[in-house]
Amino acid sequence: MDDDGDVTPEPDTDAEAGRGGHPVAVVTGASRGIGRSVANALEDAGWAVERGSSTVAPVTDRAALTSWVDEIVERHGRIDLLVNNAGVIDDEVDLLASDPEQWWHTQEVNVLGAYLMTWLVAPHLVARGGGRVVNLNSGAGRRAAEVATGYNVSKTALARITGSTHLAGREHGVRAFDLMPGVVRTDMTEGMEAHADRTEWTSPEEVTALVLAMAAGELDAFSGRFVRAGVDTVDSLRAMAERGLDERERTLDLVLREDDPLR
């Protein structure tokens, strides 16, 4: 830990780090907003960061993503962390008024993109004996929506990707997290009617503090679970982990009574 309290990963040898002596992170949607803040924070903490954007490799383009990930591994020799941040939101209208092409595009970016990146990067995490995937989720993923329904559906689906990544990767040392960033002031949120009168925002620093702790392995107890910036802190999550987590705690699940026939 450095003088500012940031956790800086320290590999045992240069051979265990990237070819430049640093652990390697891949951040999608890093040209602005939360993605840029996360990428900057990781670099400040000593990570080599590969920044994705629509001009680098659109997250819906499997061929472009494959080439990009291959190039990253060729440059650095490894990947330690994937942050699936790239995302879009559909118009704030109800389901019946939605545009099918826009609605489906939201699924392609937010769901297919995260899946493809995870599918491409996970083998490299496994090859290294482990690593971490952080998916930028949302409180919108926990419930149905009256408007921007494509976004809510995509974030619910993203939680399933996170959970499945956790289940598939845990025996290989791979951990996956659903990080809800709260409402950070970005181009996207400032353009939304839902936040037109908002005066309180989650700070980027509250988000990046959690990402850094996840990246350093401090919050592995929350693999497969939701964490919320602006409410959770690294210390509060450590305390929760120490007292023990229920199997379904902080997961997206259907809770049924003992006598319910669906159980």
Give the phi and the psi of residue 2 in degrees, each rounded to 5: -90, -175
Over the stretch 170-225, which tens digit does the pLDDT of each residue have? 999 999 999 999 866 666 665 667 766 756 778 999 999 999 999 999 999 999 99
- Rounded Cα–Cα distance for residues 244 and 225 (Å): 13
Q: Which residues are within 8 A (CB) of 240 and not within 5 positions of it... i.e. 6 or more apart?
A: 221
Domains and CATH numbers, the chain: 14-243 (3.40.50.720)
pLDDT at 18: 80
pLDDT classification of 152: cutoffs 50, 70, 90: very high
- Rounded Cα–Cα distance for residues 159 and 110 (Å): 11
Whole-model pTM over 0.85: yes
pLDDT for residue 90 is more than 90? yes
Over the stretch 15-38, which tens digit does the pLDDT of each residue have? 456 888 899 999 999 999 999 999
Over the stretch 45-65, which tens digit does the pLDDT of each residue have? 999 999 999 999 999 999 999
Whether 68 and 28 have beta carbons less than 8 Å apart is answered as no
